[in-house]
Chains A and B, each alone.
Chain A
Amino acid sequence: DQQVKQNSPSLSVQEGRISILNCDYTNSMFDYFLWYKKYPAEGPTFLISISSIKDKNEDGRFTVFLNKSAKHLSLHIVPSQPGDSAVYFCAASYGRGAGSYQLTFGKGTKLSVIP
């Protein structure tokens, strides 16, 4: 049972335009959401996160939106740059007691930014 879903395996966007990556989740206990960026043959790197008490978080060109009622979040990249081409993973977590958290990852969306 996939608790975090990224339904688009790939996305192509023109340089300078907006990239929108989507993520849905099913577990109502999730209260913290993250996006990671991954280049081939490297480990993922943390990009941006959002707590369930917020509906938007911005960091430079990256904005994450959270719609709790729809159990949906999205990552907006504006403007998109060729260096943004990577696989983006959506992840979610909740506290499991004693300071323990586990991340549940989606399958990823491969973003290609075309110059």
Chain B
Amino acid sequence: DGGITQSPKYLFRKEGQNVTLSCEQNLNHDAMYWYRQDPGQGLRLIYYSQIVNDFQKGDIAEGYSVSREKKESFPLTVTSAQKNPTAFYLCASSIRGSAGELFFGEGSRLTVL
């Protein structure tokens, strides 16, 4: 089955630690995205990538980093510089130029202890 796989589903981190969230897709989509959802908030764009080896900052990129070495993979690192990292993180992909019809993964919930 084609889809997007995010791991881990739940992650706990101590303050000051970096953590990496995995996102893999087998939909052959060019574009991939990372969003963050907080309670009562919409989805806010962290980073996106339209093509391998290229990515752009979204609206709330500070404290995050990404890489896009393979078409299928778009990992997100939450660094210690991110002041409020506790959130639900969603990875998505789309056909490039699809005007926004995104396919989302199941999400990863990060909790900072």
A: residues with CB less than 8 A from B are: 4, 6, 9, 32, 34, 41-46, 49, 89, 91, 93, 95, 98-103, 105-108
Determine the interface band of chain B, counting residues with CB < 8 A from chain A: 20 to 34
B99 within 8 A of A: yes
Closest-CB distance, A22 to chain B (whole angstroms)? 15
A101 and B42 contact, CB distance less than 8 A? no
B92 and A46 contact, CB distance less than 8 A? no
Partner of A41, one of B94, B101, B107: B107
A residues in contact with B13, CB < 8 Å: none
A42 and B42 contact, CB distance less than 8 A? no
Given contacts A100-B50, A102-B45, contact A46 B107 (CB under 8 A): no
A residues in contact with B106, CB < 8 Å: 41-43
Closest-CB distance, B51 to chain A (whole angstroms)? 9
